[in-house]
A = this chain, B = another copy of it.
Amino acid sequence: MDITKFVELSLGSWRSQRSAHHLAFRHFEEVTSNIDIIALKESDKEVIDLCQLYKIDPALAAHPFRMSWEGETDWDEKEEPFEGTTILVPIPDPDNPKVGRLLRDMGYAETIPSVGQYQITEDGTFVLTTAYDRAMAEEKIWFINPNFRLRVSLIKTSQGSGVVTASFSSETRVLDPKS
């Protein structure tokens, strides 16, 4: 598994079930969503703009993609619809194809641009660590088969010691998005 294979496997439409454990008050949040992941070109203006925001040579970008989602959460006792979209640009380390940076135009823990560090472990898990001003996010994504993947996300305090929220997504590929 490398970033090329990982992005290629991720492209498509996914139906997601996500459970968030808000640990301090032992709360369960249930989220269902549909996720679309489409390839972008390294030459797309939005990709080049994001690289320039981080003062990174756009020639280093590999396999940029756009992720969009829409869904519902039962947070706050009512079904709240939500939607969003973000651009993600991997910048592989030229010396090690298993690690790199991931640029994002909107972060997960805070809605500002972010840059995370990724690595792909021996067993094919994509591990992403992102430091924000007031939090740290750690995410693991792995494929059980080409049509089913799992994602575990942690939001930690900025020192990285305490885990605030642990969440788990099971994502099933929608083979015919029209259905």
Chain A interface (Cβ < 8 Å from any Cβ of B):
15, 17, 19, 21, 23, 26, 28, 30, 32, 121-123, 125, 127, 144-145, 148, 150, 152, 154, 161, 163, 166, 168, 170, 172
Cβ contacts under 8 Å, A21 to chain B: 17, 19, 168, 170
This protein's copies in its complex: 2
Cβ contacts under 8 Å, A28 to chain B: 17, 19, 28, 30
CB nearest to A166 among chain B residues: B170
- Within the complex, the shortest CB–CB distance from A73 to chain B, in Å, comes to 12
Knowing that A19-B21, A121-B123, A168-B168 are A-B contacts, what are 10 other residue pairs whose CB atoms are under 8 Å apart, sorted by A's residue number?
Answer: A19-B28, A19-B30, A21-B168, A21-B170, A23-B170, A121-B122, A122-B122, A122-B123, A150-B152, A152-B152
